[in-house]
Amino acid sequence: MSTSAERIEHAPGYRTAVRILWIGAVAVPAFWFGEMLINAALNGYVCFPGSSPRQTVASGWEWVIWIRYLLEAGAAMLCAAGLIVSYRIWGESQRDRIADPLADESVGRTGFAALWGMLFSGSFLLAVIFDFTITMIMPVCT
C-alpha cells in the first residue's frame, strides 16, 4: 500500500504523460489534415492551371509526385510514433495500476488518455495507409 506522499510523487510524471498524449492526439489529425490540404492544393495547381484541366502533369512539375509521397510517408511515421508512444504510456499506467490498486486517479486518467491516443493514432494510420495506396495507384491528373 502506498502512502499519500508516494502518490503525490507519481502525479507530475503522469501529468507530463497526459500532456504528451494530448499533443499526439492533436498533432496526428492536424498533420494529416495539413497533408491533405497541401496535396489538394498542389494537385489543383498542377492539374488545373487554367480554365481547362490537364490530363498529365505539366512539364517541370514532376516533383509534385515525390512531395506527395514524402507527405504521406511523414504522416504515416507520425501516426506510428503516436501509436507507439500511446501504447508505451498505456502499458506503464497498467503496470502501475496492478502494482498499486489504490493509486490516485491520475493513473486511470493516463491509461484512458493513452487508449484514446492509440485509437486516434491507429485510425489515422489506417487512413494514411489507404490514402497512400490511392496515391500510388491513381495518376496525379485524372
Place of cell 507527405: 71
- List the end-to-end C-alpha distance of the chain, in Å, as a whole number: 65
Cell numbers at 60, concatenated: 517541370
pLDDT in tens, the chain (142 residues): 444 444 434 444 555 566 777 776 778 888 888 888 998 888 888 888 777 777 887 778 788 888 888 998 999 998 898 889 888 888 887 776 666 666 666 567 777 888 888 888 899 999 999 988 988 888 777 6
> b/e for 37-55, b at 16 or more Cβ within 10 A?
eebeebbeebbeeeeeeee
Residue 96 CB: number of other CB atoms within 10 A?
Answer: 17
Q: Do 1 and 102 contact (CB within 8 A), yes or no?
A: yes
Q: Do 111 and 97 contact (CB within 8 A), yes or no?
A: yes
> DSSP state, 142?
-
Place of cell 495547381: 45
- pTM here is 0.74
